A = this chain, B = another copy of it.
Amino acid sequence: MAVLNSNNNGDAGVNRLLATLPKNEYKRLLPKLTTVSLVLGQTLYEPGDVIKHVYFPNDSIISLISKLSETSRLEVGMVGNEGMAGLAVFMGVKSSSTRALVQGAGTAMRMSSAAVRTEANQLGSLHHLLHRYSHSLLAQVSQSSACNRYHMVNARLARWLLMTNDRLAAKEFPLTQEFLSTMLGVRREGVSKAAGALQAGKLIRYSRGVITILNRRGLEEKSCHCYAIIKAETDEYLN
């Protein structure tokens, strides 16, 4: 499969959506963008909150999480340097229906919602790209929805690690099993078992909240095909 190459996400550490903008438009936006550091576990907004800023991750990752109850949460989407968190604002809605949680520490470009609304009222490249990104995100959410329904925990864990690795551009990142259990929508014990299987195969190393990817290729084999599908959709929209 074509996507089974090594981790290539273009200029690692630069938001690819912004980087795709034509120079003049990027320059127009620049004064409205601020670089911010996102720390692991930080909540950017909760469902119902008025969204004050949108975020274009550079090397950080933001998880979109749906909550059914205190114990039933599930990551429905992952936003990295290919996209933007806070799409609701672009779509003319004040608040999101999901929680935005920093799942990978790093930097992001931040823009005020007011600025987004101003920009969204101009039919420029940003508008066009955000439109296409919306479609890409919808496709991602749809695919993971079916994936979460049908595929085994092991395969989903592999997929998730690969997706994180793509966006974080690091082979090692902090990540407790408790946290992973929310992402995958399974119990912590289930993660322990699945992670143990991957570790036994020398694909990852796991040590008290720090996970290291040892063998990407191997992970791709254990992962379901959904990884390739989502990656293709994500990479394609920027063209």
Q: Chain A residues in contact with chain B, CB under 8 A? A: 64, 66-68, 72-74, 76-77, 87-88, 90-93, 97-98, 121, 123, 128, 131-132, 134-135, 137-139, 141-151, 185, 224-226, 233, 237
Residues of chain B within 8 A (CB-CB) of A148 are: 145, 148-149
User: With A121-B123, A123-B121, A138-B141 given, is the CB distance from A146 to B97 under 8 Å?
Assistant: no
Inter-chain CA distance A148–B81, complex, in Å, is: 29
**A141 CB to nearest B CB, Å:** 5
Q: How far is the CB of A79 from chain B (nearest CB, A)?
A: 13
A67, closest chain B residue (CB)? B146
A87–B135 contact, CB under 8 A? yes
Copies of this chain: 2
B-side contacts of A88, CB under 8 Å: 135
Q: Is the CB of B91 within 8 A of A149?
A: no
* Contact (Cβ within 8 A) B91 A145: no
Given A66-B142, A185-B149, are A91 and B132 also a contact pair (CB < 8 Å)? Answer: yes
Closest to A89 in B: B135
Closest-CB distance, A13 to chain B (whole angstroms)? 27
Please pick, from B92, B138, B146, B226, the residue contacting A137 in the complex, using a CB distance under 8 A. B138
Q: Roughly how many angstroms separate A201 CA and B68 CA in the complex, as a whole number?
A: 26
Q: Compute how far the CA of A155 lies from the CA of B123 in the bound complex, rounded to whole angstroms.
A: 43
